[in-house]
Chains A and B, each alone.
Chain A
Amino acid sequence: AQSVTQLDSHVSVSEGTPVLLRCNYSSSYSPSLFWYVQHPNKGLQLLLKYTSAATLVKGINGFEAEFKKSETSFHLTKPSAHMSDAAEYFCVVSDRGIGTGGGADGLTFGKGTHLIIQP
């Protein structure tokens, strides 16, 4: 079985300061991991993905995430926040083993982290 925990429901940072959104996962197999972003009243957009290649993954809009197997973490970071980064962020795990899902059979979403950017 797989699960994902986003450790903060809300994160507030000032514009120009670093962003850290934390995600821990559990997986029985070698996982794929994703970060999605959802701007207000919009659908979800893929920010970046990890699929067992390089452990440091670069995504769009200056975001990156590091896969740390020993810590079962996949935290999302950005060196300098911009007002346009204000959104909801979802960490997602895919357990690529066979028959591991209940009814879901695919991706498991975290409950989201709301990122607030202070001017």
Chain B
Amino acid sequence: NAGVTQTPKFRVLKTGQSMTLLCAQDMNHEYMYWYRQDPGMGLRLIHYSVGEGTTAKGEVPDGYNVSRLKKQNFLLGLESAAPSQTSVYFCASSWGRSTEQFFGPGTRLTVL
């Protein structure tokens, strides 16, 4: 099992550009999450999904959109990137609410 994988691993964008981060899991988990990690801030939840076709806002959703068209995939989109979105992004999945989450390796995004 690959677990949770993320694509790409690194990306540099210019302000105003758009991009999509892909998360895939092969554990048949219902729940999937997108976090951002910034120095001194810990992990902050951006959006999450409780099943195929569902999405919900987390703590810091502004400037991001998500989609869960297939159970195994969870996409995070930035429509118009801003320097404040420079961060490391982690995807995670879990079989249920409030159970342990399994994390991907992260995507390091820099917005110039």
Contacts and interface: CB of A to CB of B under 8 A. Distances in A.
Q: Do A and B bind each other?
A: yes
Given A43-B90, A90-B42, A90-B43, A106 B106 contact: no
A107 B41 contact: no
B98 A104 contact: no
A90 B42 CA distance: 8
Interface string B72-105: 0000000000000000001010100111111111
Contacts of A7: none
Interface in A80-119: 90, 94-96, 102-107, 109-112
B43 A109 contact: yes
A111 B42 contact: yes
Nearest to B41: A111
Contact of B98 (A90, A94, A109, A112): A94
B51 interface: no
B43 A46 contact: no
A34 interface: yes
B105 A49 contact: no
Nearest to A36: B103
B106 A112 contact: no
Chain A: interface size category: 20 to 34
Given A43-B104, A46-B100, A95-B98, A103 B45 contact: yes
B19 to A, nearest CB: 20
A43 B98 contact: no
Interface string A37-65: 00001111110010000000000000000
Contacts of B92: 44
A26 interface: no
A62 to B, nearest CB: 20
A34 B92 CA distance: 15
A110 B97 contact: no
Given A44-B43, A46-B102, A103-B58, 19 more contacts: A34-B100, A36-B103, A41-B106, A43-B104, A44-B101, A46-B100, A94-B98, A94-B99, A102-B59, A103-B45, A103-B56, A103-B61, A104-B59, A105-B48, A105-B56, A105-B97, A106-B33, A106-B98, A109-B43
